[in-house]
Amino acid sequence: MKAIVIGSGIAGLATANRLQASGFQVIVFEANSYPGGKLTAFQQGNYRFDAGPSLFTMPAFLDDVFHATGRNPRDYYQYQKLDTACHYFFEDGKRLTAYADAKRFSSEVSSQLGVNGKVVEKYLSLSGELYNSVGKIFLEKPLNRFGTWASSSVVRALPKIPKMGLFSSLDKFNKKHIQDHRLIQLFNRYATYNGSDPYRAPGILSTIPHLEFNVGTFLPEGGMHTITQSLVRLAIDQGIEIQYNAPVDSIAVKDGKATGVWTNGNFHEADLVVSNMDVFFTYRKLLKDIPAPERKLRQERSSSALIYYWGIRKQFTELDLHNIFFSSDYQKEFKTLFQLKDVDDDPTVYINITSKYVPSDAPDGCENWFVMINVPPDEGQDWDEIIERSRVNIIRKISRALNVNLADLIENESILDPRSIQTKTYSYQGSLYGTSSNNRYAAFLRHTNDSRSIRNLYFCGGSVHPGGGIPLCLQSARITAEIIGKHFRLPVV
């Protein structure tokens, strides 16, 4: 049987590899000249940059793709576990090293912030408990299946639901368990991992810190783009065909069933079609004559990003791979972002520096700075003005915090904004994670991994269940492949 996958983001590549291993002959159509979607890389002068996602957690999810094909993931990529999850800089001058170990981090909090470390240990223990009982259901199972809710694991998890803050915001959940305003801000930040507002997103997002502090943070050797390269190499080894510069024009539907795709004027027949394209554009561009699930397509989009890729003529010992410079008023920042659809003049700044671990990514004595702030999705804002204003504010903020004149250290620059994110990745309005989680029922409102109206049409990637980010996209691929396996009565891989 033949399967077509539209898009070679990591969810598309992972789904393609799983389907090929289960017996399908898979072909992947990619509109760009390169694979990976947001997870790509580029060279800027003598500096190399990972263009998109910069945080690698839950490597077991990626390893599982290779295991499903009967291959050893260590033959395709290597990774190292990091001692430090992030370096945090607060506006009051306090600095905090977030060690990727709960006990060591709690000791750091105690010494630097004067907070009883047991508070942090208890919070992270609860985070792990909620993830392993309730959180895994939302991240690893299709929510539209009776079998999910009738399983013994769900029955055992039900008593823990009141503890997980499902019906309160992440901010309220954190204030219940933590009093220090800096720690609350730190743990509120995890709402941004799926592009949401911590003052509206549900407390279940408190399960995310578990992945960093109890499981760990990691870095693939050679940088994040290695993840894409490893999945492409696996696809080639399995005999999957990937066609680049091959945008799909439409999905063919006959008698209520997907039968293939049209691309470059040619029809390609298939027994099933999987769309890794943003579900919004899947309906608007590829299924123009099919009634769309309008309520789902109208849901609030996640935040987007404004990224400055800077070659910096200096090395900073106080910085690491991941660094956060917090705003002074977090609630105001998110109100500006989600309600006013603008960028605050004091944004929280994230700086990723892969040359700390991959020295060849920058010349000697220099660093490659991936500088990102959260911004609203594109709704017609004056992005040229926002880009210039934000650049001034970021440079001023970092210069003050590090006691340098940062502007004089920038050797070269390129920029990615919501407009170019949509153009390059077909992410509607440039949103990074599809829809936001600014609703207590958000997990249930996301588009499912299979179509309820078109047989043999499936979806994977950050715009559908369970959401965006590398771990969730890989889980999306697994869930989609399992659903297809059951529909076609094939072995689940």
**pLDDT tens digit sequence for 317-352:** 999 999 999 999 999 999 999 999 999 999 999 999
Average pLDDT, the chain: 93
Tokens coding 268: 């390609």
| First and final C-alpha spacing in the chain | 16
CB 437 within 8 A of CB 194: yes
Q: For residue range 2-43, list pLDDT tens digits in order.
A: 999 999 999 999 999 999 999 999 999 999 999 999 999 999
Rg of the chain (C-alpha set): 22
Confidence (pLDDT) at 439: 83
- Domains 2-39+60-66+221-299+439-487 and 83-216 belong to one CATH topology: no
**% of the chain exceeding 90 in pLDDT:** 87
- pLDDT at residue 165 is higher than 70: no
Domain boundaries, the chain: 2-39+60-66+221-299+439-487, 83-216, 303-376+379-416
Cβ-based neighbours of 181, under 8 Å, separated by 6 or more: none
On the CB side of 464, how many CA atoms lie within 13 Å of its CA? 33
Determine the pLDDT at residue 138.
Answer: 66
Question: Which tokens belong to 253?
Answer: 């539907």
Contacts 24+ apart (CB under 8 A), 286-290: 286/6, 286/248, 286/249, 286/250, 286/251, 286/261, 287/250, 287/251, 287/253, 287/454, 288/250, 289/253, 290/253, 290/453, 290/454
pTM of the model: 0.94
CA–chain centroid gap for 98, Å, is 20
More confident residue, 159 or 43: 43
pLDDT at res. 490: 81
The answer to whether 15 touches 24, Cβ cutoff 8 Å, is no
pLDDT in tens, 96-142: 999 999 999 999 999 999 999 999 999 999 999 888 887 666 666 66
Which residues, 6 or more positions from 237, have their beta carbon under 8 angstroms from its beta carbon?
A: 71
In this structure, which CATH number among 1.10.3720.10, 1.10.3090.10, 1.10.1380.10, 1.10.405.10 belongs to the domain 83-216?
Answer: 1.10.405.10
Alpha-carbon dihedral 312, 313, 314, 315, rounded to 10 degrees: 60
Tens digit of each residue's pLDDT (9 = 90 or more) over 78-98 = 999 999 999 999 999 999 999
* Residue 431 phi, psi (nearest 5): -65, 140
The fold adopted by the segment(s) 2-39+60-66+221-299+439-487 is FAD/NAD(P)-binding domain (3.50.50)
pLDDT for residue 285 is more than 70: yes
What would the mean pLDDT of 224-247 be, rounded to a whole number?
A: 98
Max intra-chain CA distance, the chain: 67
